[in-house]
């Protein structure tokens, strides 16, 4: 008995020492990150480039407002069920479906943010030009890759040996020889504006102002604070079980920059601020065709809400859920403000508005129903990671209340926008996306895509004819789902249908052979349970994947 007590005491002491060692490493890593943060200056006014005083005569091509949100769960909007059983309404986002088209099977370009954005901007699978992994600081990969969350059965992996082969973070971007939506629309006389998150490169040649945008106001990295942590108008939620959250609170600045200038602090909650500036830009450009890429960072962590939005949801008792729901409430209200601005300027009828999320809701938020009814999370290719809200509204062209059932994706935004603007993409590079407009008005029949493909390291997926094949090397597993009969991926048919596995594997391998090597290595592999969030302890029976980032 004494031996057992002594052994137990030793285990406790070792656990404490291990925890202390990790905390020391975390503190040291964060100190290095903070020391490298650039200086953020005081709030400053932005003067948007002014368009003509009056519209030009003749027919005008449509404006395009592309609204991309960050880590929105499929179930976050009331159109698809809604947070807390729909008690947090999203009427403005829902109005895009009421007044336009809902793509019921809309897919993200990837299950994490930056590769999806690369697919959107180019209309090509990001693996065609080596943008395979999300750019992250080495300190981030080291910290997340050495932290084992409480209750996690499968440890993360940090590839120390690959650090020497990793280029500087800002140089991890979309190659300059790729054509972006903005560059293409400029050939049709569009004024192009980027607002919010970029995350596609921060060096000369890969920044927004070098990739076709006349004006850019936002942040180059993968995130930003919504308000300073100690701001009197903010309510915060921190997830101690999540190493990503720990990193963000210490590393993210509350800042933006205009066209590569000095960093400065916004004068409002980030989502409010980006909307204020979007409205100002719409007014400045009301007399010329414009393309606006409005890339909100909500509701990505860190979870920060305004006090007013938080207090309006007193019926939600769970603090984390309430902060998250308040962020959704704020996001929806601001999207409504953008739509109202278009109407106020007389631009409503002839503006194509596209709304989607870069990927599904994240398991590390710790909320179980973000992607309901789908399985999986951000950083998995299960439906919860890539089956996203996808809406379009163009009153002059798209019938109100339309629904489109065939699978479409982020890669289609490039060609659809080009088609609306009358722009012709240059030949010489494979475009994976198609113009969806002819499918909406009946000029084209059938499915826009015979196959759709995703890859992140050793994890590869193909969607073809309603069948979905997922192939993973670690753990070594194949999943086969008939989405026509099993849209929520409950029954793995890989053993029952080896013929279908062989057929889809051949298609997948042919598609995979067209891709190129990643521009930079994956430093981090993290285990993600498919059926529960990070806040819940793993069980031996859980299905999981390892995600390369």
In angstroms, the CA 316 to CA 310 distance is 9
Percent of the chain with pLDDT over 90: 90
Q: Is residue 281 part of a domain?
A: yes
What pLDDT band is residue 36 in, cutting at 50, 70 and 90? low
Q: Is residue 510 part of a domain?
A: no
CATH number at 179 reads: 3.40.720.10
Take residue 85 and report the two structure tokens written for it: 């059983």
Q: Is residue 182 part of a domain?
A: yes
Q: By C-alpha distance, which of 191, 249, 203 is closest to 223?
A: 249
Q: What is the pTM of this model?
A: 0.94
In angstroms, the CA 242 to CA 247 distance is 9
Q: By C-alpha distance, which of 227, 313, 212, 210 is closest to 269?
A: 227
Q: Is residue 506 part of a domain?
A: no
CA angle 352/356/361 to nearest 5° reads: 170
Q: Is residue 437 part of a domain?
A: no
Helices (H), 252-358: 270-284, 307-311, 319-344
Take residue 61 and report the two structure tokens written for it: 């091509």
Confidence check: pLDDT of 35 > 60: no
Number of domains in the chain: 1
Take residue 436 and report the two structure tokens written for it: 């969806």
Q: Does residue 549 sit in helix, strand or coil? A: coil
- Residue predicted with more confidence, 430 or 36: 430
What pLDDT band is residue 16 in, cutting at 50, 70 and 90? very low
pLDDT at 149: 87
Confidence check: pLDDT of 41 > 90: no
Q: By C-alpha distance, which of 469, 472, 402, 388 is closest to 437?
A: 402
pLDDT at 27: 55
Take residue 12 and report the two structure tokens written for it: 């406790």
DSSP secondary structure code for residue 301 in this structure? S
Confidence check: pLDDT of 491 > 70: yes
pLDDT at 39: 78
45 CB contacts (<8 Å, ≥6 apart)? none
Averaged over 285-301, what is the pLDDT?
98
> Per-residue pLDDT tens for 497-517?
999 999 999 999 999 999 999
Q: Is residue 508 part of a domain?
A: no
Domain that includes residue 319, residue range: 17-42+69-149+160-421+451-457+518-548
Ramachandran region of residue 438, left (φ > 0), alpha (ψ -120 to 50) or beta? Answer: alpha
> Per-residue pLDDT tens for 141-180?
999 999 998 889 999 999 999 999 999 999 999 999 999 9
Q: Is residue 512 part of a domain?
A: no
From first CA to last CA, the distance across the chain in angstroms is 47
349 CB contacts (<8 Å, ≥6 apart)? 395, 396
Confidence check: pLDDT of 15 > 70: no
Q: Does residue 104 sit in helix, strand or coil? A: coil
In angstroms, the CA 511 to CA 513 distance is 5
Q: Is residue 100 part of a domain?
A: yes
């Amino acid at each position: 008995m004494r031996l057992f007590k002594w052994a137990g005491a030793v285990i406790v002491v070792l656990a404490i020492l291990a925890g202390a060692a990790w905390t020391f490493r975390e503190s040291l890593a964060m100190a290095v990150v903070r020391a490298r943060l650039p200086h953020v200056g005081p709030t400053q006014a932005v003067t948007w480039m002014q368009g003509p005083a009056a519209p030009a005569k003749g027919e005008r091509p449509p404006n395009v407002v592309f609204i991309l949100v960050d880590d929105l769960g499929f179930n976050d909007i009331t159109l698809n069920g809604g947070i807390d059983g729909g008690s947090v309404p999203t009427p403005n986002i829902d109005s895009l479906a009421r007044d336009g088209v809902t793509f019921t099977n809309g897919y993200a370009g990837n299950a994490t943010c930056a590769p999806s954005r690369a697919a959107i901007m180019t209309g090509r699978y990001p693996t065609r030009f080596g943008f395979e992994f999300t750019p992250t600081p080495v300190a981030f990969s080291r910290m997340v890759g050495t932290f084992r969350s409480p209750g996690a059965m499968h440890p993360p992996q940090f590839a120390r040996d690959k650090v020497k082969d990793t280029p500087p973070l800002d140089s991890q971007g979309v190659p300059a020889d790729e054509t972006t939506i903005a560059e293409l629309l400029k050939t049709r006389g569009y004024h192009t504006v980027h607002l919010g998150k970029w995350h596609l490169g921060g060096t000369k040649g890969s920044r927004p102002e070098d990739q076709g945008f006349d004006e850019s106001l936002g942040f180059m990295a993968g995130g930003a604070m919504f308000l300073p942590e100690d701001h009197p108008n903010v309510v915060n939620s921190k997830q101690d079980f999540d190493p990503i959250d720990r990193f963000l609170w210490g590393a993210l600045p509350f800042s933006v920059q205009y066209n590569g200038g000095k960093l400065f602090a916004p004068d409002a909650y980030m989502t409010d601020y980006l909307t204020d500036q979007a409205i100002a830009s719409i007014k400045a450009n009301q007399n010329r065709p414009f393309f606006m890429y409005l890339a909100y960072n909500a509701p990505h962590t860190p979870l920060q809400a305004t006090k007013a939005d938080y207090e309006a949801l007193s019926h939600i008792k769970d603090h984390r859920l309430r902060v998250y729901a308040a962020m959704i409430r704020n996001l929806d209200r601001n999207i409504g403000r953008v739509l109202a601005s278009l109407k106020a300027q007389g631009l409503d009828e002839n503006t194509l508005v596209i709304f989607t999320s870069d990927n599904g809701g994240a398991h590390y938020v710790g909320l179980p129903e973000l992607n309901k009814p789908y399985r999986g999370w951000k950083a998995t290719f299960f439906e919860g990671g890539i089956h996203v809200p996808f809406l379009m509204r163009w009153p002059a062209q798209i019938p109100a209340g339309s629904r489109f059932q065939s699978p479409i994706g982020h890669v289609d935004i490039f060609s659809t926008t080009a088609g609306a603007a009358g722009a012709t993409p240059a030949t010489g590079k494979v475009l994976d996306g198609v113009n969806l407009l002819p499918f909406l008005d009946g000029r084209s029949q059938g499915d826009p895509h015979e196959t759709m493909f995703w890859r992140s390291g050793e994890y590869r997926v193909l969607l073809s004819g309603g069948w979905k094949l997922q192939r993973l090397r670690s753990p070594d597993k194949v999943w086969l789902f008939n989405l026509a009969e099993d849209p929520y991926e409950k029954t793995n048919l890989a053993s029952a249908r080896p013929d279908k596995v062989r057929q889809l594997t051949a298609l997948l391998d042919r598609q995979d052979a067209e891709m190129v090597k990643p521009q930079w290595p994956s430093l981090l592999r993290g285990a993600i349970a498919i059926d529960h969030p990070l806040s819940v302890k793993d069980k031996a029976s859980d299905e999981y994947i390892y995600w390369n980032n």
